[in-house]
Every structure is written in structure tokens, then in C-alpha cells.
Structure 1
Amino acid sequence: MVEALLFASAQPMTLRELADRLPAGSDPAEALRRLRARYAGRGIELERVGDAWAFRTAADLSFLMQEQVVETRRLSRAATETLAIVAYHQPVTRAEIEEIRGVAVSRGTLDQLIETGWVRLGRRRQTPGRPVTFVVTEAFLDHFGLASTQDLPALAELRAAGLLDSRPAGLDLAGKQEATDIAPDEPGDDLFGD
């Protein structure tokens, strides 16, 4: 039954969603464990996507899907930077995003990320003005092949991949100056290259 539910579902399903559809006394966690073992090493595998589960094509067979073209929309540089900030610092407010980026975030940038389904509104902060926060979604995790935000690459991995080479030394991902030889008012490149 769990296999059928996951196969028919267009979206990953949580344990609670599975349990709600199964007969009383069923153990969806045990069913998922068995299914994951049964499908391991096959053309499709049962994968965890955040708190949910879904069948996915095995990573080593992804080359077979190259003929299927999905029209993609390129994110602007501002949207890419904003998405990275939300992913690494969530829950984060618009003001915090602007502080980290060093520039104002246009409404269109966050709207675009919400429209793609990668960012959603989080809880309001219990501070003056009660600003809304932004968090990444299960669709973001699914698209980038992450089980959770804990799987995002660490700073050392980003440096090793050459993604932070043009970043000024002494700045962490939040843009705060560390104790280094850089003068506080010395100009530098932005956090994400170029």
C-alpha cells in the first residue's frame, strides 16, 4: 500500500500523510524501511526528501533522462544570492537578507523564489514589527537532491569547489568580518564571486 501511494503521488509524502491513508495499526516507517531496502541498487530508489519520501530515478542512471527537456528559467544573480542566504540562514527576514547582501532586496526577487516553490513564508518574528521570515521548501530540497538543509555544502566544501575563491578573506557566509589583516573599510568583492 505504501509503495502504491508513493508511486501515485506527484509530491513526496510524509509519514503522517502515509499513516492517514493506511489501515489502523499499520507501520509506515517499517514499510518505508523495507521498500528502501528492496529498491536499493535498482533503477528507481526510495529517497528521503526533507521529512517526506518519494521514488526517484537512481542517480547513476540520470543520463537516460537527458532526452526529456524541461523548460528552465534562469535565476538572476540577486535571486541566486537571496536563495543561498535563505538556505544557509533560515528562518531569515528581508532586513537580514539585505544586511547580508549589502543591498535592498526587491519584492520581485522574493516573489520569484516563492513562485518557483523553493522559498516560502515562515513564522513571524516575535520582535517589534513582527517581520515575516523566509525558509526553503521541500521542493528546494528535492530539486537539489538534499534530505535536509544539514546536507548543504559547508564553507570548506565551497572553497574546495572554487566557489568562494574571489571572496575577500576574513568574511564568513554571513558577511561578518573575522579577525584578519583586512582593514574594516577595505573594499572587496561580494560574497558569491564576480
Structure 2
Amino acid sequence: MVEAILFAAPEPLTAAQIAERLPPGCDPRAALDRLRRSYEGRGVTLVRAGSTWAFRTAPDLRHLLTREVVERRKLSRAGIETLAVVAYHGPVTRTEIEEIRGVSVSRGTLDQLVEMGWVRPGRRRQTPGRPATYVTTDAFLDQFGLESAADLPGLADLRAAGFLGDPTVQDPLPLPEPEDP
């Protein structure tokens, strides 16, 4: 039943959403674990992104299903920087984003990230003015093939990949090691 629910779902589902569709007493988490194991090494895999589950094409076969014309919405440099700050430092306020980036964040930048579904407003801080915070979403994790924020590359990984060899990048960058929220 869990397999059928996930195949028919138009978007990834949480274990709680799956449980709502099952008879009382069923354990969707155990079923999800069994399904994940049974689909290992096949053309389709069951993946977890944050708290949601979905079937995806196996990484080694994705090239077979890629279209020649892919319409992608490019993020501006400000959008990429803002997304990185939210991913590595979230939950984070607009003011904190501006402090880390060193420039003002335009309203449109955060709006675009929210519209794309990669960032959402989080809880308000219990400080004067009660500023809103921003956090990444399960859609962000799904888009980048991450199970949790802890899977984000750390500073050492970025250096090893050559991303921090650029002289225009400030060194050291204030990138903490990701934590699982």
C-alpha cells in the first residue's frame, strides 16, 4: 500500500501523510525502510529528502531520461549567496543574511527563493522586534539530492573540490559545518 501511495503521489510525502491513508495500526516508517532496501540497485530508488519520501530514477540512469531542452530558471549571484547563507546558517533573519553577505538583501531575492519552494519563513525570534527567520525546505533538499542539511558540503569539501581556490573568494569564509535541524 505504501508503494502504491508513493507512486500515485504528485509530490513527495511525509510518513505522517502516508499514515493517514493506511489502515489503523500500520507502521509507514518500517514499510518505507523495507521499500528503500528492496529498491536498492534498481532503476528506481526510494529516497528521503528531509521529512519527505519519493521514488526517483536511479542516479546511474538519469541521463536516459534527460530532455535535450531543459528550461531552468537561473538564480542571480545574490540569490545563490542568499540561498547558501540560509542553507548553512538557517534559521537566519534578513539582517543576519545582510551581515554575512555584507550587502543589503533585496525583497525580490528572498521572494524568488520562497516562490521556488527552496526557502520558507521560519519561526520568529524571541528578541525585540520579533524578526522572521528563513529556513530551507524539503524541496531544497530534494532538488540537490540531500537527505538532510548535514549532507551539505563542509569547508574542507569545498576546498577539495576547488571551489575556494578562486582569489576573489574571501578566505576564510564564515561557513559552519552543517547541522541537522
Q: How high is the TM-score relative to the length of structure 1?
A: 0.86
Using the alignment, how far apart are the partners of 2:133 and 2:57 within structure 1?
34
Aligned to 1:22: 22
Q: CA deviation at 1:68?
A: 5.8
Match of 1:3, SS state, is helix
Aligned to 1:181: none
Q: CA deviation at 1:10?
A: 1.5
Q: How high is the TM-score relative to the length of structure 2?
A: 0.92
Aligned to 1:10: 10
* Structure 1 residues 1-194: aligned runs within 5 Å: 1-67=1-67, 69-165=69-165, 166=167, 167-173=169-175
Q: CA deviation at 1:169?
A: 3.0
Using the alignment, how far apart are the partners of 2:142 and 2:73 within structure 1?
17
Residues 9-60 of structure 1: per-residue CA shift (max 9 Å, x gap): 1211111111111000111112112211211111000011111111000001
Computing the radius of gyration over CA atoms, which structure comes out larger, 1 or 2?
1
Q: CA deviation at 1:98?
A: 0.2
Question: Does the CA-based 8 Å contact 2:97-2:105 persist in structure 1?
Answer: yes
Query: Structure 1's 108 and 59: CA in aligned 2 closer, same or farther, altered over 3 A?
Result: same
Residues 107-163 of structure 1: per-residue CA shift (max 9 Å, x gap): 010011111111000000000000000000111000000001010000000111111
Question: Does the CA-based 8 Å contact 2:154-2:175 persist in structure 1?
Answer: no
Using the alignment, how far apart are the partners of 1:15 and 1:36 within structure 2?
13
Using the alignment, how far apart are the partners of 2:172 and 2:75 within structure 1?
28
| Count of aligned residue pairs for this structure pair | 174
Match of 1:86, SS state, is helix
Using the alignment, how far apart are the partners of 2:26 and 2:150 within structure 1?
30
Can you give the 5+ residue segments of structure 1 that lack an aligned partner in the other structure? 175-194
Which range moves more in the overlay, 104-113 or 69-78? Answer: 69-78
Using the alignment, how far apart are the partners of 2:110 and 2:158 within structure 1?
24
What percentage of residue pairs aligned between the two structures are identical? 65
Q: CA deviation at 1:171?
A: 4.1
- The alignment's C-alpha RMSD in Å is 1.3
